[in-house]
Amino acid sequence: MLANPRLLGYVFNPLTLFYCLDADGAVGRIVAEVRNTYGGRHCYLLRPTAAGRAGADKVFYVSPFYPVDGSYSMRLPLPGDQLRVSIRLDRPGDRPFIAVLTGTRRGRPPLWTALCTPLASRAVMLTIRRHGITLYLKGLRPHRPAVEGA
């Protein structure tokens, strides 16, 4: 599983990846659990290629600035010493939206890492909200979700 840790009683995971390995240790399936800031969630069951690439049609309301349409192209390799996950949303007549998560494995104990970054999970939500305000100030207006509460 690839997710943000719960720190000081709080966690927000916009994306949690569950890697399902086959008997040989290769990734057979990936469950991508997507959460929005409204408390909704949706799981995509993906069958990645050997290179860790997968795709899916968008069926869940994630951002108030994008309607529920388009398709995702994802690069979700099994994490190792280096992590580089990317998701691209393609919509008809629009520039693609690309989100990237990168990281480097460190040899520090988990407790030490948590003590060094106690507000990391809150920073994720703060960054999402700051980005939304910036988009709004640039003139982008929210779309209403197709289903209330989603």
The residue type of 115 is: L
Residues 6+ apart with CB under 8 A from 115: none
Whether the CB-CB separation of 20 and 29 falls below 8 Å is answered with yes
Instruction: Give the mean pLDDT of the chain.
Output: 86
Locate the domains of the chain by residue range.
Answer: 15-137
Instruction: Kindly tell me if the per-residue pLDDT of 150 is higher than 50.
Output: no
Ranking 30-44, 59-73, 121-135 by mean pLDDT, the lowest is 121-135
pLDDT of residue 140: 80
Q: What is the pLDDT of residue 148?
A: 47
Instruction: Identify the three-state secondary structure at position 14.
Output: coil
| CB-CB contact of 58 with 71 (8 Å) | yes
| pLDDT over threshold 90, residue 57 | yes
**Looking at 1-150, which runs of residues are DSSP E strands?**
15-21, 27-35, 41-46, 53-57, 71-75, 82-90, 97-104
What's the pLDDT score for residue 149? 46
* Higher-pLDDT residue of 109, 56: 56
Note the pLDDT tens digit of each residue in 60-115: 988 887 888 999 999 999 988 999 999 999 999 888 989 999 988 877 777 777 67
Give the pair of three-digit tokens for residue 85.
């996950």
Judged against a pLDDT cut of 50, whether residue 36 lies above it is answered with yes
Q: Which of 142, 14, 13 is nearest to 67 (CA)?
A: 142
Give the pLDDT confidence score for residue 105 in this predicted structure. Answer: 83
Phi-psi group of 51: left, alpha or beta (phi > 0 → left; psi -120 to 50 → alpha; rest → beta): alpha
% of residues, the chain, pLDDT over 70: 91
Q: Return d(Cα 121, Cα 68) in angstroms, integer.
A: 26
